[in-house]
Structure 1
Amino acid sequence: MPHSLKVRAVAMFEAVQEIAIYIHRFHNLDLFQQGWYQIKITMRWEDDEDVSFGIPARVVQYEARDLGPSSIYGIWRIDDTDNSFSTQPFRIKYARQDIHLCMMISFNLSLGRFEVLPTTAVILKFELMYAPTFENGADLQASLDAYPAAVHEFRIPPKALLGLHSYCPVHFDALHAVLVDVSIHVSLLKAASTAPRNSRNAEFVANKSYDTLDQGLSDAASVKLKAFMIVKALLTAHGILLEELQKLSKAVDQAIDIPEFVSKRNDMKLINSVPQANQFTTEVEISGQRMPQNGLEGADRALDFETAEKLRSLSKRELLNCYHSVGNRLLYLWNIFLKFHRDNKTKILEFLHDAWAKDRKAEWSIWMVYSKVEMPHHYINSGVHRRVSSLWKLPDEPPQTAATRAELHRRSIAQMRINNRSIQDMHIFGDPSSIPIVIVERVMNAPRRTISDNSYLRQGHHLDLRLIRNQWLLIDPKVEFLMSETNEDKTSGDFREMGHRLAQEVISFVRKKMDKASRYGNLGDIRLSFVGHSIGNLIIRTALAESMMEPFLRYLYTYVSVSGPHLGYLYSSNSLFNSGLWLLKKLKGTQCIHQLTFTDDQDIQNTFIYKLCKKTLDHFRHIILLSSPQDGYVPYHSARIELCQAASRDKSKKGRVFLEMLNDCLDQIRANPSEHRVFMRCDVNFDATSYGKNLNSFIGRAAHIEFLESDIFARFIMWSFPELFR
């Protein structure tokens, strides 16, 4: 009986995923505690939460730190038990402190668990470790190792693993507000060879059974298919990396000396028979957030039919030689890239950051719905109590309709195809359906103005608005803040008194900053912006009406109103909340409650809010009104400064006065033809399922407080319209 042959595959065509992480700077935005901090990094495949598969491969300290021994302790370390990398511990002493870490750590992830290329994402985990200031020596490291103070994870989808070059800001969480400037760089590389380059990629073993022949031939075909896919992926990765390197070289205006044998593939007879780099990527736009597709499907689309067939026609030995040739060139180019990045770190980081910032509006558009409406004409009330609308209809979306619209959009998110070619922040992409839905209504009045990059002054209202302050700082690090404390524990009195105190506090702050800037000769354009929450908005507007503020009104720039009762509680539909207001008036005689409910004077046209509606809003260049149909503490129409159904049906003096106040406010917001003003209403719809069934959610308080405890909605709005906050 003749002998048969069995083909046994030898693992030669192997690839490895290398992910380089540049940790540039740790910036303390708003840490509550001084002490020692450390950043710990691990990496794993998404489908295995228990094991860290990323192996630290290389560490480079590319710049000497300018910190003394009192600010930094020990050295960086790699822990073999969990394959983690930890930076040196560093000491945080004050807000807005910078620690320049200047480190690069790269991780290797083996692809041995996959048949060819990765089919699952990579999870990149940053942990913020903390130890009190008094800890030192061995006790310090033990305390740091105890548990993380905060965690921030990112997801690198499979289709981004062939090539990704992106800025990646690490913020941790609202209680540990920092900014770690990080850039992520990903490439597929050839794994270390396990066999001589010219060895055969299959060996033949005598076997006495005919039944194994088909299996052997099948194994041989499988080896060639894997070789074909690996070589094709390496060629694509080479093309991505080469184009990215050339783009960065142009962006930072620094030439790169790339040897011809790396930048071109037609210098060898073997490479002449396979596709050139540009044939893989001619139709792919490479940027920090837009990467070509990965995997078998993506690779096939990157090749035209003729090129793919040419590659398929190569023998196994030719594929092996091609694998080594392309793999060596790719590794050489990868090392050039890493060195070029270190040598031009500042300019490259700025370039990647700008690309990241430009992509925010598109990246987060999943949770934002945009619409445009024309600025309405006056709503007229006749002497016989009949209203005639002059091109002004009642709002199409009362609170219930707005909430329903947002909920339908939330449900549709589960059916959306989320961008899978860029790094994903798991604070947002971890559970997309729980993220607030923001409905942006742009009220068209005049073209948006082009805004310069000059610094300006901004005044916030309350310490609880620190999350919005932190986002503003990320957009414009030069901004100066006043977190007003003058009315702390004094918000139950007269709005006039609170406004007077705030005006004094603002003037003192602005003059102090102006005097300091003048002494150093760098007093530029002054922009004074305000952010208020709830009744803080009325305090802000009252302060602006003070005569002492007159010289500063010309500096007013952006006004962000977060759920502010601008039209009072004349038509509040929340009966439980109204009962609470009634009790406060009866039991405590709180003056501001009387003013909010128009009972501070017998004549409604002599009340505080009626008079306030005639001034203050016209001085701002841009106005953003944030509201939520889930917020039962502030009437929906009052926060949005728009008509409500109850007022439209009210033929009494109360109804006429409401329309007069509404028209007065809109007249101030309406820009003159020569002016350019942005006026937006933004509906924020939170995930109500997270509230549960309790009193806060029942009376509508949960959403009112959520404005202070969540910053995702502010991140969406501010990064989508950054020109309004610079």
Structure 2
Amino acid sequence: MLLIEALIAARDTLLEHLKNISKAIDQEIGLSKSISDLDHKKKAHDIAGFSSDRLLYSWSWYDLSNYVRSLGNEILYLWNRFLMFHRSNKTKILEFLYDAWAEDRIAEWSIWVVYSKDEVPHHYMSTSADDSSFHRPQLKSLNVPKFANDTAQLSAIRAELHRQSIGKMTINSQSLQDMHLFGNPSCVPIVIVERMIHSTSSSRSEKLDQILSRNLLDRTRFGASTMSIRRADGHVMRVVVFVHGFQGHHLDLRLVRNQWLLIDPNVEFLMSKANEDKTLGDFREMGLRLAQEVISFIKAKMDKISRTGKLGNIKLSFVGHSIGNVIIRTALTESIMEPYLSHLHTYLSISGPHLGYLYSSNTLFNSGLWLLKKLKGTQSFHQLTFSDDPDLRNTFFYKLCKERTLENFRNIILLSSPQDGYVPYHSARIEASPASHLDYSIKGKVFWEMLSNCLSQIQAPSSEHRIFMRCDINFDTSSRGRNLNTMIGRAAHVEFLESDMFARLIMWSFPELFLYL
């Protein structure tokens, strides 16, 4: 009985998928008569009550074997017809299956993504080169409790509540290759996506709403996008540069790279090696080495493609982890990178200290930084903590924030985690620190000037449809227990490199941001 039920289910499933594929690619599979016969047999089977245990047990062994043989022949016939159909329409079928797979992933993974909407306050922006034109909001004027300004704590609480609700769900999936993702839903990272809009730019807000308001990706649109990229091969060279963090390895971001390759298999990627074992020095030197490495890579690819005479344009994207983001922004200030600034596309920042370590609240980590500066005199640590010059406005980070390193990107995605104690939460998100609201010293003024400069670059009109998102990643660290790594925040910082689940959730929810459309 179980064998017959399995064969019937296999036959019906195969027949259904054949019909769907034939309809999707608008090609006749040549099964009209066979389909009619199979449908007739299925109806006759239902009418006769072949699914009844009592009737089947009344059959002779000869009748049962004939029926099983008949079902097997039908399945074999359908499979052979599919193989012939696939040989004739291989490309169209693969495109259909790819788009269907992408849509299914978005539908399945959407339960771990939470959407919200926020504005970049207009008074955060400097309106001219004169920083004195900038003013910060008064904490009292915000008329909210002090706790409400602690965005890290609010994010952690929100994620935990969402995780508890997911733990009560029953995950049903027919996707065998992804079942490991649903082994324990409570262990999957929670991603809180904040759609950042500019209060002075309604057109960009509408563009962002169009992308972020939907939970499912329209199959037709995504299919057309992937097809257009395939047709553009040889015309648009798409390059993605991955930059590791402190004392990192060039393969640290390989999991993110793999997800990007699934979205765009023909992208050229550079896993930067220029600063391996060289992250203790000056960020300016690291930036120059990265710029030279990127230009050398691009020129080599351009020479290779130009031999066919098909090179038309370049789209350059960057992915950085930790201080790798500082190295990226420093590299973009180099004069040798100037010809490529107009080709910048997507910037994915993974826990990057964009505002340095001002107002870092991790006492243990701060003590470690102080000790390393004393023992080793590490220049990069002095720059991160603004101790490289007595005048805060003459420090490396203050000058870096005045450089226009962000305004040429079409898409900017800032990834942060409230559990990451290695990088200040507000610094990774390029937002105000709660402590800075109460600081009216020169330190507070310098911080707000840096914040204003960074946000002004993002608001700059160099890209008409710039997308700016902040994504909070909340990892499940319960299995790690309470140890030194979790106490100092290292566990979450390293989890960005050891897990690709957060990258799947973000990149497959918004594939447009990682494609050249």
TM-score, normalising length: structure 1 = 0.58
Deviations 1:252-311 (A, max 9, x none): 45433326364246868x956956xxxxxxxxxxxxxxxxxxxxxxxxxxxxxxxx9x99
C-alpha distance 443-326 of structure 1, shift in aligned 2 (>3 A): farther
Contact kept, 8 Å, 1:542 with 1:612, in 2: the verdict is yes
Does residue 444 of the first structure (1) align with residue 208 of the second (2)? no
Does residue 255 of the first structure (1) align with residue 13 of the second (2)? no
Alpha-carbon separation, structure 2, partners of 1:654 and 1:254: 68
Alpha-carbon separation, structure 2, partners of 1:466 and 1:580: 28
C-alpha distance 245-521 of structure 1, shift in aligned 2 (>3 A): same
Contact kept, 8 Å, 1:385 with 1:651, in 2: the verdict is no
Deviations 1:611-647 (A, max 9, x none): 1112200011101111111110000000011111101
Quote the offset at 1:327 in angstroms: 6.8
Alpha-carbon separation, structure 1, partners of 2:181 and 2:390: 50
Counterpart among 427, 430, 437 of residue 638 in structure 1: 427
Deviations 1:319-338 (A, max 9, x none): 97999999777544422331
Does residue 337 of the first structure (1) align with residue 78 of the second (2)? yes
The correspondence of residues 261-660 of structure 1 with structure 2, limited to 5 A, is: 262-264=35-37, 271=43, 316=55, 331-343=72-84, 344=86, 346-347=90-91, 348-379=93-124, 387-388=137-138, 398-423=151-176, 425-445=178-198, 446=204, 447-448=207-208, 453=229, 454=232, 455-462=237-244, 463=250, 464-614=252-402, 615-660=404-449
Quote the offset at 1:366 in angstroms: 2.2
Deviations 1:558-583 (A, max 9, x none): 11111100000111000111111111
Give the match's secondary structure for 2:314: coil
Alpha-carbon separation, structure 1, partners of 2:349 and 2:474: 16
What do you get for the CA RMSD once the two structures are aligned? 3.5
Contact kept, 8 Å, 1:265 with 1:272, in 2: the verdict is no
Contact kept, 8 Å, 1:376 with 1:392, in 2: the verdict is no
Give the match's secondary structure for 1:564: coil
Give the match's secondary structure for 1:642: coil
Alpha-carbon separation, structure 2, partners of 1:609 and 1:312: 74
Computing the radius of gyration from Cα coordinates, the structure with the larger value is 1
Structure 2: which amino acid aligns with 1:359?
Answer: D
The correspondence of residues 173-184 of structure 1 with structure 2, limited to 5 A, is: none
Contact kept, 8 Å, 2:134 with 2:449, in 1: the verdict is no
The correspondence of residues 209-224 of structure 1 with structure 2, limited to 5 A, is: none
Structure 2: which amino acid aligns with 1:461?
Answer: V
Counterpart among 455, 458, 470 of residue 681 in structure 1: 470
Deviations 1:675-721 (A, max 9, x none): 11121111111111222232211111111111111111112211221
What is residue 214 of structure 2 aligned with on the other side? none
Give the match's secondary structure for 2:415: strand
Contact kept, 8 Å, 1:626 with 1:684, in 2: the verdict is yes
Structure 1: which amino acid aligns with 2:36?
Answer: S
Deviations 1:384-437 (A, max 9, x none): 998448999897552222122212222222211323454362331112211222
Alpha-carbon separation, structure 1, partners of 2:388 and 2:182: 49
> Taking every aligned residue pair, what percent have the same amino acid on both sides?
60
Structure 2: which amino acid aligns with 1:377?
Answer: H
C-alpha distance 332-377 of structure 1, shift in aligned 2 (>3 A): farther
TM-score, normalising length: structure 2 = 0.81
Alpha-carbon separation, structure 2, partners of 1:627 and 1:567: 13
Quote the offset at 1:342 in angstroms: 2.3
Contact kept, 8 Å, 1:242 with 1:333, in 2: the verdict is no
What is residue 670 of structure 1 aligned with on the other side? 459
| Larger RCO of the pair (alpha carbons < 8 Å, separation 6+) | 2
What is residue 723 of structure 1 aligned with on the other side? 512
Alpha-carbon separation, structure 2, partners of 1:266 and 1:569: 69
Quote the offset at 1:513 in angstroms: 0.8
Structure with a larger share of its residues in strand: 1
Quote the offset at 1:383 in angstroms: 10
Contact kept, 8 Å, 1:428 with 1:435, in 2: the verdict is yes
Deviations 1:486-529 (A, max 9, x none): 11111111111111111111111111111111112231431111
Contact kept, 8 Å, 1:379 with 1:392, in 2: the verdict is no
C-alpha distance 690-265 of structure 1, shift in aligned 2 (>3 A): closer
What is residue 223 of structure 1 aligned with on the other side? none
Structure 2: which amino acid aligns with 1:242?
Answer: L
Alpha-carbon separation, structure 1, partners of 2:181 and 2:357: 35
What is residue 7 of structure 2 aligned with on the other side? 189
C-alpha distance 473-568 of structure 1, shift in aligned 2 (>3 A): same
In structure 2, list runs of 5 or more residues that go unmatched.
Answer: 126-130, 199-203, 212-220, 245-249
Deviations 1:328-359 (A, max 9, x none): 77544422331133231634343222201122
The correspondence of residues 125-204 of structure 1 with structure 2, limited to 5 A, is: 188-189=6-7
Contact kept, 8 Å, 1:534 with 1:563, in 2: the verdict is yes
